[in-house]
Amino acid sequence: MRHFVRAIAITVVALIATGCATTQPTYDYTALEASKPRSILVIPPINNSVAVNAPYIYLSTISAPLAEKGYYVFPVAVIEQFLTSNGLQSPADMHNISLEKIREHINPDAVLYVTIQDWGQKYHVVDSTTVVNTELKLVDAKTGHILWTAKAALAQGANNGGGGLAGMLISAVVNQVIGSVSDRTPQVSAIANNIAINHRNLGLLPGPYAAKN
């Protein structure tokens, strides 16, 4: 009987340990809740990928999910033009602007810095994958405190794998030809941003303009 009880106890402990292991962590929102930003300025991304057009495509996919989350987002194209016309020719220069200067000329509540680590369509022998890998950091424009960080990353394959080896090879060729004409990175980037911003435990908290349920 004693061995039976012991076996049950070990099983319960194992189940609890398994449950703890699968529990997703929750982001520490202390700084974000204290700051309560209403407006967000998105600085043009630093691009560490080989895709030269990645920053421009990325900027077209970030405003909507932030606005839908309840924040005012400064128009990204206007901001980029403003920074460029004031002598900042690269995203690296823009990322090095002091928060004091940003507040003086634009005055946002928070600033979003983005780094693109990987981007584009990767072609393999029998498959192709569209990859988007970015890192986001939201900073309080007054204090410089980090309010929220996230990784928006997604790899989406295009091959359905049907028709055997011959079918896969034909599909890969077709995907490469289509991919050279139709870029899927805008769609993949939009999905990645939506997942990161709306993640249940790690996403961005709703802003002051969020729709009330």
**Is residue 105 included in any domain, yes or no?**
yes
Distances (CA, A) of 153 to 47, 142, 211: 14, 29, 26
Q: Which domain holds residue 55?
A: 26-197
Is residue 138 included in any domain, yes or no?
yes
- In single-letter form, the type of residue at position 150 comes to A
Look at residue 8 and tell me if it is in a domain.
no
Decide if 65 is inside a domain.
Answer: yes
- Residue 208 included in any domain: no
Please state the domain count of the chain: 1
pLDDT digits (tens, 9 = 90+) for 150-180: 999 999 986 544 444 444 444 444 445 444 4
CATH number at residue 104: 3.40.50.10610
- Residues 6 or more apart whose CB falls under 8 angstroms from that of 37 comprise 71, 108, 109, 110, 138, 140, 141, 147, 207
In a domain, 112, yes or no: yes
pLDDT-flagged residues of the chain (< 50):
1-21, 160-175, 177-181
Asked if the structure places residue 213 within a domain, the reply is no
Helix, strand or coil, per DSSP, at residue 26:
coil
16 within a domain of the structure (yes/no)? no
Q: Which pTM does this prediction carry? A: 0.79
Alpha-helical regions (H) of the chain: 2-22, 30-35, 54-68, 76-85, 91-95, 99-105, 164-181, 185-197
Residue 159, pLDDT score: 53
